[in-house]
Structure 1
Amino acid sequence: MSTAKRVILAVLATLLIAGAALVYPWLARREAWIGATWQQPWLLLGLLVVPVVWYWGIFAQDARKPRLRLGTVSPLLTGPRGIRSHLRDLPGAIRAIAVAMLVLAMGRPVSVLRDQQADDKGIDIVVALDLSGSMRAVLDAKQSDLPGAPRIPKNKRLTRLDVAKLVLQDFIGRRRTDRIGVIVFGKAAYVLSPPTMDYPLLSQLVSKMSLSVIDGSGTAIGDALGTAAARLRRSDAISKVIILITDGDSNAGSISPEYAADLAAGLGAKVHTIQIGTADEVDVEDGVDLFGQPRYARQRFPVNPELLRKIAQKTGGEAYVATDAKALSDSMHDVLDTLEKTRFEASIASFEDLFPLLLLPGAVLVGLDALLRAWLLRRFP
């Protein structure tokens, strides 16, 4: 066989083997290969070795085989000839394609699957929680009235803030498709978290809140509403909600509650107000006695239910008064029950590794190469 003919046959055999090796990956994930990315692209430089392996396994192999000199070969010309003599270059082509497939697999192709569109009902919610000093007032509650029925230490009396945190954490834990943010306020307002669907993190942040984290010498309701409205300004949800939880009257801040309510109404956000407690005298922890037990004193904190009703009415929301833990929990859940819900698409991007689809044909070709060389196309000597 002439050298030119041999080269042409070897190239054709290589192309046929490559095509056969790529059939399985293509049929298995046809659309996934379109737009696939390589996580380890620098490993694809290994493809430069493939031509060397191809030449070494086909043509350079002849130079490495031992030879026997004979006086004449004319008797051999009349000897039998089989198909195996024409397939001697097949293992070299198989080995080259096997190396190419394994190198491509090491490049780790990854496909971004078509986004799974989930039409979920949800709303954007910002909770504004009062952390003023009046939230240290006692709000006695039965264990059964608290969400999750948490264990309360003996002789421990929960404050308004303690109960509000438990109710808010339960409220967060019950959500599935709502984006929730939290604002805390005392003499000024601060963003604890922008609207998010990371409920575990949000619940953890709420659990760590205390009256000492901000200045609680005032109650800036206007600043709290204004800050909450600012967090909803870029929201694309049709339904936007602000839940204001407070136990006092507005007596601090640079924004009036009425103006802040106008800002919320301009965004289409409904403000639902929840007043904790009334203007009656309540027990407030006032240090400890000689035995280390908490000591309580009676105090009265001013409230302004009329202001809260005006804020709710101006924005189309509802005003609630919670005098105990159960009423506070019921108020929080009633807010969602009375809201229209908007649908928004939650785009979930998922990824798929494609390298196993290349690894399998590569491993099969390696085994086939070894089998052909050891059995069908074994050379002698």
Structure 2
Amino acid sequence: MTMLTFAYPWLALIAPLPFAVWLLLPAHASNRTGLRVPFFDRLAALSGQSPQVGGVIAPRRTLPLLVLILCWLLTVAALARPQWIEPPLHQDRPTRDLLLLVDLSGSMDTKDFVDASGRTVDRLTAVKQVLDDFLSRRKGDRVGVVVFGDAPFVLVPFTTDLELSRALLRDTVVGMAGPRTAFGDAIGLGIGLFDRSTVKAKTIIALTDGNDTASKVPPVEAAGVARDRGIVIHTVAVGDPTAAGEDKLDEGALKEVASTTKGGFFRALDRSQLAEIYQRLDQIETRKIDTVSFRPKRDIYWVPLAAALSLSLLLQALRTLRRRSQHPAPRTSDLAISKGAP
């Protein structure tokens, strides 16, 4: 619903100011040259007026007075800054920051996942396919992506542009961050990204298929810092729990990281399990949107100013037409006769 309002309504108090001046101040006096004649009484009698001693107050015509009053009121209305309030607009603001930690170590190149078409693909390809579907349903969240191998790197800072996150995530390849796994450092980098976050809900979803072999900070210690800062970490184990060496999956560490921050631990042995995990995460981390409403205001002070200008110009035009009708210009024939007269 649209409505009219004034930004400075208190300026309406100056509207009676000209009336107060007219009441309190004396009338403007001016001296005019007079003509003294010995037959003044006869002239007064012929005119039917009774001469009085003192000044004469010239009466003001009704139309100019009304126009003057209207122009003053319109000027006061313009000074009060009239504003036209438009219908309310609603804007959805995200109330959660969601950070994805994606492992790009060499073991993610192992082909033990089957995609939706039945082809055997590597672990990273399966993760990217499921993440792409997961991100397509995260409207209302700010999402960031951190990839890690020998060291963690920010792939996408927190943004509501989910299409950008999906596009950059599709371009990731195994080994682009190094062959080893720095899971603890990735959590530390994620904590640093949340330092500028102003929302209450902060979530990390970590995907890794190996044990931590390159971090300066152990994952459990990093998880303790995340817990103190109100960050929840869900861990997803993508690797083979029976693997050995650097490819060995440290499920104990992943479970401890999740439990420390009151998050969940999930194991994905194939693509179907991975998809089910993201469905469960989608239920746990439901979208939260804070709807903010505001009403745009449009200044229309120019409307009363334009009306006041139009009224004054119209009054001047009427005065000009009236003068011309009372004092018409002499015709050419009259001028010719007056010039030829003796």
**Secondary structure, counterpart of 2:187 in structure 1:** helix
2:144 equivalent among 168, 178, 181: 181
Aligned Cα RMSD in Å? 4.8
C-alpha deviations, 1:1-52, integer Å up to 9, x for none? xxxxxxxxxxxxxxxxxxxxxxxx9x7124xx269xxxxxxxxxxxxxxxxx
Structure 1: how far apart are the matches of 2:171 and 2:77?
54
Map of 1:379 onto structure 2: 322
Amino acid at match of 1:229: I
- TM-score, normalization by structure 2: 0.61
Structure 2: how far apart are the matches of 1:170 and 1:376?
77
Distance 1:173 1:117, change over 3 A: closer
1:248 equivalent among 201, 206, 210: 210
Structure 2: how far apart are the matches of 1:260 and 1:110?
54
Rg larger in structure: 2
Q: Identity of aligned pairs, percent?
A: 27
Q: What are the residue-to-residue correspondences of 1:102-181 with 2, within 5 Å?
A: 122-138=95-111, 139-143=113-117, 158-181=121-144
2:298 equivalent among 350, 354, 358: 354
Structure 2: how far apart are the matches of 1:34 and 1:222?
58
Distance 1:112 1:368, change over 3 A: closer
Q: Which runs of 5+ in 2 are unaligned?
A: 10-43, 49-58, 325-342
Q: CA deviation at 1:320?
A: 1.2
Q: CA deviation at 1:259?
A: 1.8
C-alpha deviations, 1:184-232, integer Å up to 9, x for none? 11110122344444434433443443346x4321111111122223333
Residue 206, structure 1, aligned to residue 169, structure 2? yes
Q: Which runs of 5+ in 1 are unaligned?
A: 1-24, 36-73, 146-155, 282-299
Structure 2: how far apart are the matches of 1:370 and 1:270?
71
C-alpha deviations, 1:327-367, integer Å up to 9, x for none? 223212312423589x785656x5634233x2333444455
Structure 1: how far apart are the matches of 2:213 and 2:154?
20
Distance 1:102 1:266, change over 3 A: closer
Map of 2:269 onto structure 1: 323
Q: What are the residue-to-residue correspondences of 1:1-381 with 2, within 5 Å?
A: 28-30=4-6, 33=7, 85-88=61-64, 122-138=95-111, 139-143=113-117, 158-211=121-174, 214-233=176-195, 235=197, 237-278=199-240, 301-338=247-284, 350=294, 352-356=296-300, 358-369=301-312, 371-374=314-317, 378-381=321-324
Amino acid at match of 1:134: S
Q: CA deviation at 1:321?
A: 1.6
Q: CA deviation at 1:257?
A: 1.8
**Secondary structure, counterpart of 1:180 in structure 2:** strand
Structure 2: how far apart are the matches of 1:311 and 1:239?
18
Greater CA drift, 242-251 or 203-212: 203-212
Structure 2: how far apart are the matches of 1:207 and 1:97?
65
**Secondary structure, counterpart of 1:162 in structure 2:** helix
For the Cα contact (< 8 Å) 1:135–1:159, is it kept in 2? yes
Structure 1: how far apart are the matches of 2:260 and 2:291?
31
For the Cα contact (< 8 Å) 2:110–2:122, is it kept in 1? yes
For the Cα contact (< 8 Å) 2:4–2:85, is it kept in 1? no
For the Cα contact (< 8 Å) 1:117–1:346, is it kept in 2? yes
For the Cα contact (< 8 Å) 2:98–2:141, is it kept in 1? yes
Structure 2: how far apart are the matches of 1:220 and 1:237?
27
C-alpha deviations, 1:112-131, integer Å up to 9, x for none? 9999798x894433211112
Amino acid at match of 2:298: L
For the Cα contact (< 8 Å) 2:64–2:315, is it kept in 1? no
